[in-house]
A and B are shown apart, each in its own frame.
Chain A
Amino acid sequence: MNASRGVALALAVSIAGSLALVVIYVVGGSIQQQGIGLALALGGMGTAIVIWAVALIEAPIEIEERHSFATGREHAVVVDSGTGTQEISRRRFLARLLAGAVGILGAALVLPAFSLGPQPGTDLFRTAWRRGLRLVDLGNRPIRLDDLVADSVTTVFPEGFVGRPDSQTLLIKVSPSDLALPSDRAAWAPEGCVAYSKVCTHAGCPVGLYRAKEHLLLCPCHQSTFDVLRGATPIFGPAARPLPQLPMEVDADGYLVALGDFPEPIGPGFWDMTHTPADGG
């Protein structure tokens, strides 16, 4: 008795919900109203069916028999060619040839998959940075050394390539006396201004966080931390290589200019990254 009433009540809620949905849709209700209306319509219906199932349906326990498929199997039928051994070996050879042909055909049919993309070539070894290209910010404005303020960080690109992902570079100004770069790279950082590739050498996320007082760059994806004063050497996290440093100098007009591309491939590693790329450059 109670169960029947429960089912009826639940269905009434469901009907109310469904009707409410019509009104909500026509009038243009909020997402909360849409969700609640739908939840009532579905919830009422589902509750009704569950009450019906557990309380109104006679469902006695029944027992059914199982049969394993492993018992009572007939002996496998032997293919009987009914001919002499020469025939059998010829057939076997043909069967193997067929298998081989199918395999090679299959491999050949995969060939169009190689049209999906180009060969990597030197793409992973090069960015757009070249000798003589000025550093520009996101607004395509060239950067003057004198305009840089200590503890600042700016995302820069080669002039003409604003937004190009592989060339994104971080330009940071620190106090020159704090810098501890290797001797062959000290000249790449005029007056405490140093530039590193923004592409994390672990898995390629932009290294967007800069802790200015500690001079540490942090990548948010897996928390690789790079020491700006020491050539962006990783000091924590899964990155194993420093961020490549951009060689740069100041030109006659006071603008920052690249001396060339990064000295090693930017970003995450790949198996032949220590090789000199094909064009030798």
Chain B
Amino acid sequence: MLTWIDERLGLAAWARAGLRKVFPDHWSFLLGEVALFCLVVLVLTGVFLTLFYVPDATSVTYSGPWAPLRGQSVSAAFDSVMRLSFEVRAGLVMRQIHHWAALVFVAAIVVHLLRIFFTGAFRRPREINWLVGIGLLLLALTMGITGYSLPDDLLSGTGLRVIYSVVIAIPFIGPYLAFLVFGGEFPTPEIISRLFVFHVMLLPALLIGGVLVHLAILVRQKHSQYAVPGATEENVVGRAFWPSQVFKSTGLAILTAAVLALMGGLIQINPIWAYGPFDATTVSSPAQPDWYAGWLDGALRLFPPIEITALGITIPSPFIPGVLLPGVAFGVMTLWPFLEAWVTGDHAEHQLLDGPREKPLRTAFGVAGLLVFVILTLAGGNDVVALVFGVPVEAMTNILRVAIVAVPLLGFGLTYRICRELFDRREAPGQRRASVRLRRTAAGGFEEIEPD
């Protein structure tokens, strides 16, 4: 069969070379693959969901088996997700696997990004792939937000309201832009079908295309590697793609799907029947987006009530935490390879990876940035965190306002010191700092023996 194909496409030599390619073998190189396999699960379950979902905000009367909503006026979109959940066999499990996969997908991307960052894999010649990767992260975030807004339920609709308000807050173009995106003043009937187009067509095309570019560059440039014995800047030490790596990756892919299937079947997620259809005149509490957008919500919660009006121009308070902060954050992340190369003066190619402790400054910045992200994410759930710790919400908010400044600074300093300490010790392993030698005197005290 393969011969039949080869006689027509002449791929044999190319395939043989590809299968013989050597890839370094380390568990931390599998993190990107986990994200990829989550994406596969998302696409497969997503196609199923798309065959049942109705992207229409027109009102219909719910007449399905879920008694508390029977007879109520809901959007056709909400109704279709209810029908999928309760009247389509395997519908709810597919929905739940899809949503769990989305949460784990972004988590895997973040962990993969951290590995790339802390090992300096973004350095020349891999700056392009870093840019592609940041783009993929942005696409993943947007896919998630558009996706969970499709059921048009009370919780996600509240989130759309917040997004609309943040866009409105952009000076000069805000209201125009928001009215263009939403099709008018919130809430609009158009937004659901537009989100659908993005979530099912435009963004997946960019995402899948981006993933293919990401992988193609990786294959072309060959994978980077840790400085294991035998590894140099001019070689790749590892194992052949076929059969070892293929089997490992395939096994990982299927087991990733198994974990997501288990969660989708056993653990309830996004119970839209409990939230009910979106109603712009009411809200449920607590109100959060999915975890990967929590940092944005947290920034909105922590930012003080500063609204400036000067010369007839108002800068509304959501602008800085909702637009400027993410802009700066992603800007710094995007430009990091170039910033680091410029600051360190290191424009050489690197195929060997750093251990985090070998680059204390980069690691310290990374830890500080990660702490900012973690604290903002926690802040996104500050009312729930306050409840868990039995602290008033206001106190929790103020604690986090202090923490968002203090903890990353502390983290920076601590990380730097620890890295230096560990690195210095490794650089000169035999040379421990001299211990003090003591001698007991006849009188009963101790005195130091002077080193020779």
Q: Which residues of A contact B (CB under 8 A)?
A: 25, 28, 31-36, 38-39, 42-43, 45-50, 52-54, 57, 59-66, 68-70, 113-114, 116-120, 123-124, 138, 155, 163, 165-166, 168, 198, 202-206, 208-209, 220-225, 234, 236-241, 267-275
Query: Given contacts A165-B186, A238-B305, is CB(A203)–CB(B161) below 8 Å?
Result: yes
- Kindly list the 4 A-B residue pairs having the minimum CB-CB distance in the complex, ordered from nearest: A35-B265, A269-B316, A46-B254, A53-B247
Is the beta-carbon distance between A220 and B286 smaller than 8 angstroms?
yes
User: Interface of B with A (CB < 8 Å)?
Assistant: 21-22, 89-90, 92-93, 96-97, 125, 158, 161-162, 164-166, 168-172, 174-176, 178-187, 190, 222, 230, 233-240, 243-244, 247-248, 250-259, 261-266, 280-287, 297, 300-307, 309, 312-318, 321-322, 349, 351, 382-383, 393-394, 397
A203-B281 contact given A117-B180, A234-B305, CB 8 Å threshold = no
B265 touches A36 (CB 8 A): yes
A–B Cβ pairs within 8 angstroms, 17 of them: A39-B261, A50-B248, A53-B251, A62-B237, A62-B240, A70-B349, A165-B186, A165-B281, A168-B280, A204-B165, A221-B300, A238-B303, A238-B305, A238-B317, A238-B321, A240-B306, A274-B309
Q: Is the CB of B307 within 8 A of A240?
A: yes
Cβ-defined contact, B169 with A222, below 8 A: no
Considering the chains assembled together, what is the distance between the CA atoms of A194 and B24 in angstroms? 70
The answer to whether B237 and A34 have CB atoms under 8 Å apart is no
CA–CA, A123 and B188, complex, Å? 13
In the assembled complex, the Cα of A41 lies from the Cα of B84 at a distance in Å of 24
Q: A168 and B168: CB pair below 8 A?
A: no
Q: How far is the CA of A239 from the CA of B169 in the complex (A)?
A: 13
> How far in angstroms is the closest Cβ of chain A from B309?
6
Contact of B281 among A54, A116, A155, A274 (CB under 8 A): A155
The total number of A-B Cβ pairs within 8 Å is 272
Select the residue from A52, A63, A224, A274 with max chain B CB neighbours within 10 A: A63
How long is the Cα–Cα vector from A39 to B96 in the complex, in angstroms? Answer: 14
> Is the Cβ of B158 less than 8 Å from the Cβ of A25?
no
Given contacts A31-B96, A238-B304, contact A116 B162 (CB under 8 A): no
Q: A124-B175, A166-B185, A271-B316 are in contact. List 14 more A-B contacts (CB 8 A).
A: A28-B89, A38-B264, A46-B256, A123-B185, A124-B168, A202-B305, A203-B322, A205-B161, A220-B283, A223-B382, A240-B305, A240-B307, A269-B168, A269-B316
The answer for the CA separation of A59 and B305 in the assembled complex, in Å, is: 61
Which listed residue, A36, A38, A48, A68, touches B125 by the CB 8 Å rule? A68
- Residue in A43, A65, A124 whose CB lies within 8 Å of B258: A43
| B255 and A59 within 8 A (CB) | no
Chain A residue nearest to B255 in the complex (CB): A46
**Other-chain contact of A60, B239, B264, B265 (Cβ < 8 Å):** B239
Chain B contacts of A223 at CB under 8 A?
Answer: 301, 382-383, 393-394, 397
List B contacts of A221 (CB < 8 A).
158, 162, 283, 287, 297, 300
Contact of B169 among A33, A270, A275 (CB under 8 A): A270
Q: How far is the CA of A164 from the CA of B368 in the complex (A)?
A: 45
Asked if A25 and B312 make an inter-chain contact with CB atoms under 8 angstroms apart, the answer reads no
A165 contacts B187, C-beta separation under 8 Å: yes
B252 CB to closest chain A CB (Å) equals 7
Q: Which residues of B sit under 8 angstroms from A268, Cβ to Cβ? A: 165, 168-169, 316, 318
Q: Are A66 and B236 in contact (CB under 8 A)?
A: yes
Residue of B nearest to A138 (CB): B281
User: Which of B92, B262, B281 interacts with A39 by CB under 8 Å?
Assistant: B262
Judging by beta carbons under 8 Å apart, are A36 and B183 in contact? no
- Nearest chain B residue, comparing its CB with the CB of A17: B258
A60-B239, A204-B161, A239-B317 known; A117 vs B301 contact (CB < 8 Å)? no
Complex Cα–Cα for A239 and B318 (A): 9
Question: Of the candidates B185, B235, B281, which one forms a contact with A120 in the assembled complex, judged by CB atoms under 8 Å apart?
Answer: B185
CA distance in complex: A2, B279 (Å)? 60
Given contacts A222-B300, A223-B382, contact A25 B90 (CB under 8 A): yes
Cβ contacts under 8 Å, A69 to chain B: 125
